Structure 1
């Protein structure tokens, strides 16, 4: 840490830096040295002329003094009394031995021993060496950099005791807050931050008791932390604060009152911005927020009569239909080719097949006609049984894969059906800032000359610049107050969106008539702060109070109290579970299909009745009305034991042969 001068480190004051320092500047010996070091000429003495010394220079300085101290002790022993220590006029040290090898200096070991015995106090602390020549009993100081770039000692490290934390010696300078005066707190009326309190019957409110809200409670907590008295006052012009050359001080609103020293503190939903920070001081943010989008809540869409089809997409339903037809055709084809699907019929007398052709007494039959194949596939899809089944291996393979397909499909459909039928969906026209900027049907605006207005005006981001150009070209989208903007959102029938701070958006969405909602992400990140005039002695105290309230959870409790505990809207997760019961509108489609199927069945039955009556009348050569009457009597249960053939054929033409009677007795049952 000492290798970097203080003047170079100070620029990193906002960064959390921890380092080691070996030079203890609090010791008198070090202070005296630094006084002389500072007076030296930096041209002749490198690194001099500064108020501190680097660790490298301090260690070099101590090393020289260790050598000096060791040689002084050695010379006191007079090792040169035989003329063998110095070079001039003495034997000295022969570096060019005639023997061809270099021998150690006889005094080298003595010097090494004297170096290890040196003990002194240097710039880097106590200097002492072990028998192996390693330094011991030295101390390193662990330091941290504070927000004002001061180096604070937080711990010590020594080779004997290791790491030892110490209490930081840095103490924040006491702020000179006057306790015997009443501070003026300017604010602005805006729900739920500051509201005029409604008195009870016969109650007279005065002073700060006239107000209630989040900022009122926050002011009480801060005043309690600081031990001061305050008086709440509503800002005269009803503005937050923007540059205005027409007013004294160049700023209007609450910012202007602080600039002109008309107020001591501003506690309101005032956004911390760089422009305002130039003329006033802000505390740490007591609430984090961002610009959000408020729109009118769309009407919940009632489920359609065919909403039971929603668990599967249209593409899947189309694929299912084609799969059903394809399976039926493949089953019909393999049944035709496979000999195991054909069976021999032994008939007595003549046999007429469904096509009207006369067959022999011995005939081949196949159960899987195209209609029966369609019926088998439909029965399997509906998880029902069927009176026919494939006999061949190929037919059974077709049936098996179709059963597996329908098993997975029906299981997936059933799993999603409940979720789709019990949820009423809201389709918002806008879901993100990108949606808002890419259309012109829904207008959008913000508070005129507010922080949001200033954000869009100054933004260099392409999306937000595009939104600013749209709003600036349509001045009517700007509103003078948030109440006006919220009213426009509610009355616009979904054709106006308000760009508003997220806390205000959340609060309005919890108030009756509960017809607004927040959509999309926040467009930026910023915060509300408590403002004071530049250089105010209250600034540091308010800063610490806000941080303490945030860490203690008091600010979270305040927000819950004024936002969510006082909600006037019912949320879906709090309503009665009966709300999710299926209604008739959810499943009306299946009733329509049932009724339609029954009607179609009746129509088909009537057509079969007419067709069969016509066929019998033609065969028996009788009037159609007589044939229909006979069929009608059979339908209502009269004469079921009467042979149809005997009725249609005149009595004088009826043969007495039993075989002929048998040939005509099955004409009604074969369809």
Structure 2
């Protein structure tokens, strides 16, 4: 009987190794991996873009940063070496005129094996490259010029309301006082028309010019006047004025408490959010041209986000990259703000010269990830390495290392304290009470005319 000899088993093992080597060599050629000896460590080409604190140049040769440290750990776990090469056009990557630009385009064209940068995962990009599991998540926020903090002194009493709102309140006060004078003079049912013998308190003189102004001013402090209107038109106007004053006083007290509680004084920001900027029209909003942030705003179904995207396009306030936008914010006198990734904005807000800050609400939760050539299989190895780094706390330690260098407000405890941002109340926020007062004034005039006609018909 014929037996399978040991020498044949050795031949079979050698044949299997040769086939595996050939298959591996073929994959290397497809991926563009530089690997000279058969058993040497593969060397990958990594395309990147300079962005603090993710990837930065060292004083000499080479690169440093949060993502460089992450890639070092991943390369050690997966077992490869790499060469970082900056993207030729300095862009993250967008699809224009039938082709991809930036880092995404270089990986798509197999000019690089790995993309390294604070690149946001989008549906369009996922169609052409393989994204790893996210290493960080962040949102989009506003980076604004840090306002000078000052002690308002005696001006504190005027700070809760904007100058425009104070003028509107003064106009409403004059209008209501004049209406009370007209009602008191021409309304046949008002105190002025009461006979002297039926008016022992002298109330017939309660709504002349001086008395009407006193009535209006006394109600501002929520105090009553000695007399109230006697006619229906006067009472309608008085009720409308009381309601208007109530909402105005509540808004004033709330804004004043916010200003008093604000740490270090009143930040003189003329807006509270994106809607205020768009409505005002005096401040430009910057976004990276063809960036994922602008695409998120442009394709959103939310009205305010679409308005912001149209506002940026109309003013052509695009920037070529994040660094350019940050520099424009620093040089501006508060008339330029930048919508950007929150982690990058927080990093720059804590660096010298300490003249910018992160402000407002968060928009659009975004995931950051590395990416590789589609179908290369390298994604799975990187995912496994990132999972291990996350489980053993390495990613968190690296994040603390690079985001913990605070020069403006050192100390984690201080950084995590809640802050109160004082914002002046604008006319738009009190539009409803003003509208109600206007309706009440119009109704009072109509009732006044009706009472005059009614009295004549009775006579």
TM range, smaller chain: 0.5 to 0.7
437 and 305 in structure 1: CA distance in 2 versus 1, 3 angstrom threshold:
closer
Q: Which of 294, 301, 306 is 1:465 aligned to? A: 306
Q: Does 1:228 align with 2:114?
A: no
User: CA 1:491 to 1:287, structure 2 compared with 1: closer, same or farther past 3 Å?
Assistant: same
Matches within 5 A, 1:25-40: none
| Match in the other structure for 1:269 | 118
Of 28, 46, 52 in structure 2, the residue corresponding to residue 191 of structure 1 is 52
1:505 has 2:357 as partner: no
Residue-by-residue CA offset, 1:535-591 (whole Å, 9 max, x unaligned): 112111111212222232222221221122x2221359989xxxxxxxxxxxxxxxx
Deviation at 1:193, TM superposition (A): 1.1
In the alignment, the residues of structure 1 paired with residue 155 and residue 359 of structure 2 have an alpha-carbon distance, to the nearest angstrom, of 29
Is the Cα contact below 8 Å between 1:289 and 1:501 reproduced in 2? yes
The structure showing larger relative contact order (alpha-carbon pairs under 8 Å, at least 6 residues apart) is 2
After superposition, the Cα gap between the structure-2 partners of 1:504 and 1:420, relative to the gap in structure 1 and judged at 3 Å, is: closer
Per the alignment, residue 150 of structure 2 pairs with 301
Paired with 1:282 and 1:496, the residues of 2 have a C-alpha distance of 33
Instruction: Say which of 103, 123, 147 aligns to 1:254.
Output: 103
1:218 aligns with 2:70: yes
What does residue range 530-541 of structure 1 map to in structure 2 within 5 Å? 530-541=370-381
The TM-score with structure 1 as length reference comes to: 0.39
* Partner-residue secondary structure (3-state), 1:521: strand
CA displacement at 1:302 relative to structure 2: 1.1
Does the CA-based 8 Å contact 1:506-1:518 persist in structure 2?
Answer: yes
Note the C-alpha offset of 1:179. 6.4
| 2:278–2:308 Cα contact (<8 Å) kept | yes
- Where in structure 2 are there 5+ consecutive unaligned residues? 1-26, 29-38, 160-256, 415-459
Q: Which residue of 2 aligns with 1:245?
A: 97
Paired position in structure 1 for 2:407: 568
The Cα shift of 1:447 comes to 0.6
> Distance between the aligned counterparts of 1:574 and 1:289, measured in 2?
21
Q: Give the match's secondary structure for 1:526.
A: strand
Q: Do structure 1's residue 182 and structure 2's residue 43 form an aligned pair?
A: yes
Q: Which runs of 5+ in 1 are unaligned?
A: 1-175, 200-204, 311-415, 576-671
| Distance of 1:237 and 1:516 partners within structure 2 | 28
Contact 2:149–2:264 (Cα < 8 Å) also in 1: no
Instruction: Give the deviation of 1:456 after TM superposition.
Output: 2.0
Kindly report which structure 2 residues correspond to 1:93-242, keeping only aligned pairs within 5 A, or say none.
Answer: 180-199=41-60, 205=61, 210-242=62-94
Q: CA deviation at 1:515?
A: 0.9
Contact 1:214 1:559 in 2 (8 A): yes
SS of corresponding position for 2:362: coil
1:442 is aligned to: 283
CA 1:307/1:441 → structure 2, altered by over 3 Å: closer, same or farther?
closer
| SS of equivalent residue, structure 1 residue 298 | coil
Once residues 110 and 399 of structure 2 are traced to their aligned partners in structure 1, the CA distance between those partners, rounded to angstroms, is 30
Task: Name the SS of the counterpart of 2:406 in structure 1.
Answer: coil
Q: RMSD of the alignment, in Å?
A: 3.0
CA–CA distance in structure 2, aligned partners of residues 257 and 534 of structure 1: 12
- Report SS of the residue matched to 1:470: helix
* Superposed displacement of residue 422, structure 1: 7.8
Cα distance between partner residues in 2 of 1:443 and 1:308:
30
Match of 2:132 in 1: 283
User: Are residues 453 and 306 of structure 1, via their aligned partners in 2, closer, same or farther at CA, if it must alter by over 3 Å?
Assistant: closer
Deviations 1:584-628 (A, max 9, x none): xxxxxxxxxxxxxxxxxxxxxxxxxxxxxxxxxxxxxxxxxxxxx
Instruction: Determine which structure has more spread, i.e. the larger CA radius of gyration.
Output: 1
The reply on whether 1:528 has 2:368 as its aligned counterpart is: yes
What are the within-5 Å matches in structure 2 for residues 371-410 of structure 1?
none
Residues 303 and 421 in structure 1, CA contact (< 8 A), matched pair in contact too = no
Q: Cα gap change, 1:245/1:441 in structure 2, threshold over 3 Å: closer, same or farther?
A: closer
Tell me the residue number matched to 1:433: 274
- What SS is found at the alignment partner of 1:519? strand
